[in-house]
Structure 1
Amino acid sequence: MEIEIKLLLNDPKQISELAQCRWPGALSVITRSDLGNCYFDTPDLALRRLDMGLRIRRSGEQREQTLKTRGRVVGGLHARPEYNVPIGSDHPDLSQFPETLWTPGQCQGIQQQLFAQFQTDFMRESARLRWQGSEVELALDKGQIHAGALSDPINELELELVQGDPAVLLDLTEQLMTAQPLRLGLDSKAARGYRLAGLQPEAEIVTQWADEPGALLHAWQRNEARLMAGELAAAEPLGRVLQAQSEQAPWMRALLSEFDLRPRQALTQLQADRRYGLAQLTLLRQLLSSDSE
């Protein structure tokens, strides 16, 4: 089971290397890798309909195929079963994954139709951190998602639990957000790639939501992403989310006074404040706390 928190950088120059961040302990196993990832599916997106993601990752001469299956994404916390198998080809071999993942005949039927859908190419700096009895893998990713002539930037910092208590990821995220502006990332690279390639429609703007932390956080993140992508119709519902949040975060109010007139500029100013990501993290903590009760 892969459990990670995805954090988004406001500026690709914000963090140029992991050593720039304030970590609560010494980093070990620091590596740099130029990674190329090719994502596969069938013409009718059979894997996507099963909520699976399949890729082959290239690092130098090494190849590894990965299958991620149905999991859960809450705010910026991602938890999904993951299967990794070394492979000597640039085309996936589904028979190398556990048979229990497929119904009879399903594996062979999908295998025969697989083809490359899109690519992600990025530089990854990774390291390990031991803290509070747990071990966390850190990954700083910078690069591009490619789908034909289209591209989309990757500027992410991922914290993946190797062993220990998942709560450590939240505590570590809080320390990072306190030091510099970061925000929770909702979409995986694969989800973004499917949309960029036109294989999946853009996520809908959220106009109505329940009065509880999970729904509020989802509306916040989804409408934020749509507004940043240029969809001005997301400004009004995002403004409502932020107005509601400003009751617990009064510092937002001054910038929200400009939101109706200049929503994208005002959003950029809000994101530049370290308290913006911390407010998202507070909602995520509330959501996870209510789930555990």
Structure 2
Amino acid sequence: MRQLEIELKLSVLPEAIKRIREKIICFRYTHFSLHKLSNIYFETVDHQLRRWDMGLRIRGCDGRYEMTIKTAGKVIGGLHQRPEYNVEINKPELNLLAFPREISPKNTNVAHLQSQLTTLFYTDFSREKWIVTYQGSEIEIVLDQGSIYAGARKKPIMEIELELKKGTLIELLAFAKEFVNIEGLRLANKSKAERGYSLVQHSDYIDTKYFLPHCNWHTMPIEQGLNQLLAYWQHYEECWLDNQPQAKQNLSHLLVLIQAFLVHYSHSIPHFVQASPLKKIMALLATADIQPQQLCYSADWLRCKLAFTQWLTALTLS
């Protein structure tokens, strides 16, 4: 019932899909037929589950249903790690008592909590899936295309997820780097649930912990400082893509801080980070007419972020 989900999420532009498929078939793989998936996400009026950093959904596929709850996890660079619990059910009705009692915060009245839950938003999308053998690992690739709906509002879903089913994080990241020459891919930090919440709130969720210019990375252990810088990077990238004021300026300032970080730790930088095109994307970001989608979905941008994510993963695992 319980499993640790370890995956990389990549937002995709439509023109990249053909090249993604061409890349996948270069490896030993098993292909699964296309499925239509519906997902209903639940929440209380006061967003209690979100405050607990939990997400609850019922997924339907081919007349079968599964209830899933995801609990607090972590993001290392662009790598998502989050415990989840799955229960097969006969019909799309909640039964929180089917989950292990220990996943709820202490003294939670589970029956009362269930009575407070209502449908918050839902998703409909098609899913194409491959299982790829890469080096000693088994990696599941899913391509999702569809929409998130909240009342009369909706957002598109166009993404791939690379999930580690068996093997090592290092090989998962190495496999992701096989895609870096494809234009139109971007490391994505927000799950479908997070995007659904932002749709309900009529704006993207802004977390005040991400307001620069203060980032005291030089007072932290190297992995903690790098993790904070990458979190800022992802946040301001999302803000720029959403055309929020000052986002481009903040992102430019952030990349200058990352360059200073590399100078400070010049004797500890792995070769693949040294070879990353950080200076190139900094120069492009400084041009007046550069558009967020043009840069953030470029191969150089992805190559650079994956290099830093690989470095952070190596530091975290060491």
Pairwise same-fold verdict (TM > 0.5) = yes
Distance 1:61 1:16 in 2: 30
Do the aligned partners of 2:9 and 2:78 also contact (CA within 8 Å) in 1? yes
Deviates more, 1:79-88 or 1:13-22: 13-22
Superposition misfits of 4+ residues, deviation over 6 angstroms: none
Corresponding residue for 1:54? 56
Distance 2:31 2:281 in 1: 40
Corresponding residue for 1:77? 79
Residue type at the aligned position of 2:142: A
Q: Secondary structure at the match of 2:278?
A: coil
1:180 to partner: Cα distance:
3.9
Corresponding residue for 2:90? 88
1:257 to partner: Cα distance:
3.5
Distance 1:76 1:272 in 2: 14
Q: Secondary structure at the match of 1:78?
A: strand
Deviates more, 1:209-218 or 1:34-43: 209-218
1:238 to 237, 244, 251: 251
Do the aligned partners of 2:281 and 2:300 also contact (CA within 8 Å) in 1? no
1:154 to 124, 141, 157: 157
Scaled by the length of structure 2, what TM-score is found?
0.83
Do the aligned partners of 2:28 and 2:134 also contact (CA within 8 Å) in 1? no
Equivalenced residues, count: 288
Distance 2:255 2:67 in 1: 41
Please list every run of 5 or more consecutive structure 1 residues that lacks an aligned counterpart in the other structure.
none
Distance 2:181 2:30 in 1: 23
More helix by share: 2
Q: What percentage of aligned pairs have identical amino acids?
A: 34
1:216 to 201, 213, 229: 229
RMSD of aligned C-alpha atoms?
2.3
Q: Secondary structure at the match of 1:186?
A: coil
Residue type at the aligned position of 1:63: Y
Do the aligned partners of 1:40 and 1:115 also contact (CA within 8 Å) in 2? yes
Distance 1:111 1:272 in 2: 41
1:105 to partner: Cα distance:
4.8
The 5 A counterparts of 1:1-293 are: 1-9=4-12, 11-16=13-18, 19-22=21-24, 25-102=27-104, 103-198=106-201, 202-204=205-207, 206-208=211-213, 209-211=215-217, 212-244=225-257, 249-258=278-287, 261-262=288-289, 265-293=290-318
Distance 1:146 1:65 in 2: 19
Q: CA 1:79 to 1:272, structure 2 compared with 1: closer, same or farther past 3 Å? A: closer
Residue type at the aligned position of 1:213: L
Please list every run of 5 or more consecutive structure 2 residues that lacks an aligned counterpart in the other structure.
218-224, 261-276
Distance 1:273 1:100 in 2: 43
Distance 2:9 2:179 in 1: 12
Corresponding residue for 2:273? none
Q: Deviations over 1:204-232 (max 9, x none)?
A: 45323344322221111111111111212
